[in-house]
């Protein structure tokens, strides 16, 4: 093995094992508290503003940030860099805003699917749960793939040992410690990642001396992909974020609304700045005339000024990736378990959830070893969630016409959005198969996202109006006779129906 491989592997293993050991120690101290399934899944009202800030940030970034934003800058230019950064940060605050409303209305909610169950019933709850599981599983595969790509493409070592190690260590402390331990470890992982980002900023500021091309190359200035990113990035990342239980869990864990709002605002600002810096690194590499033919390594091309980056700075970036990766992985593991447990294992003891951590992660680790393209994975999950985001979240509407937003109209709206994307792809490529591949796996452009969002809304409104004409009482709140049900026998979420 080369000096770089030895140094990178050694430091990465040390960082990962230390975080794991601390998390397991903390899990042991909290074992009595974690015996309660709800606290294990939600860490209800346990985290102050500081914890929420760093935990939101840690859940929003990952090893993918070293590849996605820098490579996106090569085609979308400076506008794309700004759009990517803002679109990654803003959904944090939006989730906190809506989450605060949900929690105020239904204080015992343990997942987004729980809210959907209360608002629409079990049919849509299962539908939303499956969409969320698909979205989070894809994100977790992308995260394992990203850290594997780093070790394989940059470090020059096999992806398999480290991916398995980070999967096993995070599974161990997630299964024993639950969400609260994940939030606590997020603090150290997030602060260390910020420290490494600051070191990178100083290094680039001191060492980058390449002449910048004038005029600005067309691909880096305002262009089709850049202007399109103003729609593509906010829509896609907002949809992907809202269908991730990892973000909603931070809402349930906040100690009060003030801590939630302030923490989300700070996390939004930190995340936006970090993503902008990483995207600007790709922009700067292309502007300086460096070889950017391999978009996956453009960040390291900049650090090496076109050659091999010094071993020490590569190790620093690897440690940054490890910190981001472990925090993102354990957040997503907790989120997957929460989504499944709150829907399918609501009455089961906590050990079912602990076993589920392992059962869910093993196949995802295996899939990640196949080395899929990370941006293609995100395109798939983000476009699917965009088809469903508007109809589902219209369920928060409590004004006039509330009954028109019902299970049937929401499902029709979702299918309308999905169908519009299929039709668009077929028209562009001439047949359904190639069209589906282009829209869901290859063409990260704005038309499919606008169509999915627009037609899902149109389908919801039209179907809701027609259903209300034919079935006037469908979707309206039932008049509940209090003595008809023994509420003590109901789950917490069902008891709220009768309050």
Task: Specify whether 326 is located in the same domain as 447.
Answer: no
Any domain includes 188: yes
Task: Specify whether 296 is located in the same domain as 413.
Answer: no
pLDDT digits (tens, 9 = 90+) for 454-480: 999 999 999 999 999 998 888 776 543
Maximum Cα interatomic distance, the chain, rounded to a whole number of Å: 79
Any domain includes 43: yes
Are 27 and 177 a contacting pair, CB within 8 Å?
A: yes
Domain extent at residue 454: 397-498
Any domain includes 409: yes
pLDDT digits (tens, 9 = 90+) for 355-383: 777 787 888 888 888 877 888 888 999 99
Residue 484 has pLDDT above 60, yes or no: no
Nearest to 184 by CA among 14, 17, 59, 55: 55
Total domains in the chain come to 2
As a 3-state breakdown, the chain gives helix, strand, coil percent values, each rounded to 5, of 80, 0, 20
Any domain includes 227: yes
CA-CA-CA-CA torsion sign (46, 248, 113, 135): negative
Task: Specify whether 113 is located in the same domain as 199.
Answer: yes
Using alpha carbons, list the distances in angstroms from residue 225 to 72, 161, 301, 376: 9, 37, 23, 16
Using alpha carbons, list the distances in angstroms from residue 333 to 13, 62, 114, 239: 20, 13, 18, 19
Q: What is the pLDDT of residue 68?
A: 87
Q: What span, in angstroms and rounded, lies between the C-alpha atoms of 67 and 278?
A: 9
Write out the two tokens for 73: 């800058």
Task: Specify whether 405 is located in the same domain as 320.
Answer: no
pLDDT digits (tens, 9 = 90+) for 47-92: 899 999 999 999 999 888 988 899 999 999 999 999 999 999 999 9
Any domain includes 45: yes
pTM higher than 0.85 for the full model? Answer: yes
Any domain includes 55: yes
Residue 285 has pLDDT above 60, yes or no: yes
Residue 197: pLDDT band with limits 50, 70, 90? very high
pLDDT digits (tens, 9 = 90+) for 133-188: 999 999 999 899 988 888 888 888 888 888 999 988 988 888 888 888 889 999 98
CATH code at position 12: 1.20.1740.10
Any domain includes 381: no
Are 251 and 104 a contacting pair, CB within 8 Å?
A: no
Q: What span, in angstroms and rounded, lies between the C-alpha atoms of 46 and 325?
A: 24
């Amino acid at each position: 093995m080369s000096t770089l491989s030895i140094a990178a592997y050694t430091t990465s293993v040390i960082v990962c094992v230390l975080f794991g050991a601390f998390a397991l120690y903390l899990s042991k101290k909290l074992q009595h508290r974690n015996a309660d399934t709800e606290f294990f899944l939600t860490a209800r009202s346990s985290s102050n503003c500081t914890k929420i800030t760093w935990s939101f940030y840690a859940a929003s970034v990952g090893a993918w940030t070293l590849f996605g934003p820098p490579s996106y800058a090569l085609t979308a230019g400076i506008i794309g860099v700004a759009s990517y950064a803002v679109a990654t940060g803003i959904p944090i605050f939006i989730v906190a805003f809506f989450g605060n409303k949900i929690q105020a209305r239904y204080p015992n909610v343990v997942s987004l699917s729980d809210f959907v169950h209360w608002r629409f019933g079990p049919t849509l709850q299962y539908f939303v749960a499956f969409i969320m599981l698909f979205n989070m599983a894809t994100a977790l595969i992308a995260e394992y793939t990203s850290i594997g790509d780093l070790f394989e493409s940059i470090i020059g070592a096999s992806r398999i040992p480290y991916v398995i190690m980070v999967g096993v260590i995070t599974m161990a402390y997630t299964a024993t410690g639950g969400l609260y331990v994940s939030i606590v470890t997020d603090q150290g992982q997030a602060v260390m990642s910020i420290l490494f980002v600051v070191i990178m900023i100083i290094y680039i500021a001191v060492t980058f001396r390449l002449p910048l091309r004038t005029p600005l190359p067309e691909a880096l200035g305002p262009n089709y992909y850049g202007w399109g990113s103003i729609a593509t990035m906010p829509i896609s990342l907002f949809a992907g974020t809202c269908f991730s239980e990892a973000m909603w869990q931070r809402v349930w864990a906040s100690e009060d609304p003030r801590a939630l709002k302030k923490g989300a605002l700070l996390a939004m600002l930190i995340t936006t700045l970090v993503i902008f810096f990483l995207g600007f690194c790709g922009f700067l590499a292309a502007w300086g005339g460096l070889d950017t033919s391999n978009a996956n390594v453009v960040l390291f091309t900049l650090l090496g000024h076109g050659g091999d980056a010094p071993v020490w700075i590569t190790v620093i970036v690897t440690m940054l990736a490890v910190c981001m990766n472990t925090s993102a992985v354990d957040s997503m593991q907790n989120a997957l378990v929460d989504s499944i447990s709150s829907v399918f294992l609501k009455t089961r003891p906590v050990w079912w959830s602990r076993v589920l951590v392992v059962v869910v992660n093993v196949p995802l680790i295996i899939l990640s070893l196949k080395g899929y393209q990370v941006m293609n994975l995100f395109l798939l999950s983000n476009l699917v969630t965009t088809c469903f985001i508007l109809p589902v979240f219209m369920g928060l509407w409590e004004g006039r016409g509330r009954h028109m937003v019902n299970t049937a109209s929401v499902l029709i709206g979702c299918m309308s959005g999905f169908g519009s994307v299929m039709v668009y792809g077929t028209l562009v490529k001439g047949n359904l198969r190639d069209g589906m591949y282009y829209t869901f796996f290859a063409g990260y452009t704005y038309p499919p996202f606008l169509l999915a969002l627009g037609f899902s809304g149109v389908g919801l409104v039209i179907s809701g109006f027609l259903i209300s004409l034919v079935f006037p009482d469908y979707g309206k709140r039932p008049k509940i006779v209090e003595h008809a049900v023994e509420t003590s026998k109901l789950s917490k979420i069902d008891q709220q129906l009768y309050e």
